[in-house]
Amino acid sequence: MSGVMTILSTGRDALIAHQLALNVTGHNIANVNTPGYTRQRVNLVTNSTQATPVGTLGTGVNVTKIQRLVDRFTGSRINENIQDQGRFQATQQALEQVETIFTETEDYGLSHSMNAFWNAWQDVAANPSGYSERLALTSAGTIMADNFNQSRASLSAIQKDLDAAIQDGVSQINDIADKLNSLNKIITDLTNQGQAPNDLLDQRDSLLNDLSELIDFTASEIDGKLTVTLGDLKILVGDLPNGSLTTATNASGFQDIVWASDTTTSINDDIGSGKLKGWLDVRDERIPEYAQRLDDLAEEMITAVNGLHTTGFALDGTTTGKDFFTGTSAMEVNPELIQNPNLIAAAATDANTAYNTQANAIAIADLQNADMMNADTARFDEYHAATLSLVGNDVNAASSSLAFQTDVGTQLENYRESISGVSLDEEMVSLIKYQHGYGAAARVITTVDEMITELLNMV
């Protein structure tokens, strides 16, 4: 009977193994469209053999583990790619908002208002006593000043929006870290029990992808325990007590990213990728550069125009010219000139005539063509055009980088799918294979049962 019982045991093990394989195959098929799901496979191995007088005898099949088909190197590359995509996506979106501030058309924009301002001076020069020309000049100056101030205010508003996005991003990072730490405990416990928590590992990988979108990090795993280390080499996930990020207001009034355990040390410079990097770059580097160029342009125009206007004379021929603009980078037409355009100092005393009613207006209008920017190598309009070009180039660079990283990401995802993705064709083949194996094992048991019945009937 021992031989018959061995056959029954072999059949039983085969039934159990193929039933488990069918369960795993069904699980794969059920998750064919589940984002982030990794295909699983049952590893079948032969049982230990038994010695017999005629040689070793096989004792069937056994399941060693339910394997998760994953390439760790590809997973790391995908995380790195997601980090880069997050950075350039955040940069592109923020810079596109900046680009709208500098939108220029034939009838709108700072360039248009600057040209209108210089043209208004030429009109005053052509008719220095004309009240309508003087009034139009104060209006053109006000429109140009408003364009400068609105552009500057809009840049500051985008900085504040990015500051809020950074704070929200830090909150998301802490939330993801909490979930990873919770999964860490469960996965570690199951791993130590010899279990394979495959679906939990998929959840963990999905959370790592979410974290990658926000910030760069390095991840390592030992015995199921995941450790996530940020750029400053401090641990966010893995060791208890776990690290937690927060923000602290810096000297500029914006939020620096810091550890909750050390709120005086900024880690901004240690962040190399992810959306946080893109937001920080635009908030702390790009926008300040654009704003400084606007401020420099406004300050030079104010200095140049006021420098000539204060030397001229009003329409009465005796009143010394006042400042045309007030403020420094925050430009505004002198309210006195708006109330009384006759105070505009279009006249001047020059070397050729004792008094010229239009000489100062001509001199101010000629500032349009003077090299007064960039160490006296560029006109006002050229300097502003360079600023527009700088913004456009930065947007294009971010868009190109994002497009490249997106293409790389697509290739990596395709490669991952070839290894870890569920193929319905393969699963259907496996389904039939394991079904036949299960049926055959059942047939072995049925045959043994018939043999035992015949044997009992003979007794």
- Break the chain into its structural domains and give their ranges: 2-69+421-458, 78-407
The predicted structure's pLDDT at residue 448: 84
Q: State the pLDDT at residue 8.
A: 86
Distance CA 125, CA 139 (A): 16
Amino acid at 252: S
Cα separation, 206 vs 36, in Å, equals 6
What pLDDT score does 5 carry? 80
Choose the weakest-confidence range: 84-98, 313-327, 395-409: 313-327
pTM: 0.89
Q: Which of 73-82, 314-323, 361-370 has the lowest mean pLDDT?
A: 314-323
Per-residue pLDDT band for 179 (boundaries 50, 70, 90) equals: very high
**What Rg do the C-alpha atoms of the chain give, in angstroms?**
38
Residue 115 pLDDT: 96
Q: What is the DSSP letter of 253?
A: S
pLDDT given at position 329: 66
- How much is the average pLDDT of 190-194? 88
The whole-number average pLDDT for the span 230-253 is 89
Q: pLDDT over 90 for what percent of the chain?
A: 79
Average pLDDT of the residues in 215-236: 93
SS3 call for 426: helix
What is the rounded average pLDDT of the residues 405-417? 95
Residue pair 341/131 in contact by the 8 Å Cβ criterion? yes
Tell whether the model's pLDDT for residue 292 goes beyond 60.
Answer: yes
Q: What is the pLDDT of residues 43-100, one digit of tens each?
A: 999 988 887 787 788 888 999 999 999 998 999 999 999 999 999 999 999 999 999 9
Give the pLDDT band of residue 352 (cuts 50, 70, 90).
low
- pLDDT at position 355 is 64
- Is residue 39's pLDDT more than 80? yes
Question: For the residues 246-263, what does the mean pLDDT come to?
Answer: 95
More confident residue, 137 or 241: 137
**Interval 218-241 mean pLDDT:** 89
Tokens standing for residue 188: 């570690």
Distance CA 170, CA 277 (A): 12
Average pLDDT over residues 108-123: 95
Provide long-range contacts, Cβ within 8 A and 24+ apart, for 122-126. Answer: 122/361, 122/362, 122/365, 124/344, 124/346, 124/358, 124/361, 125/346, 125/358, 125/361, 125/362, 125/365, 126/358
Q: What's residue 87's pLDDT? A: 97
pLDDT of residue 223: 83
Q: Residue 1 pLDDT more than 80?
A: no
The pLDDT mean for the chain works out to: 92
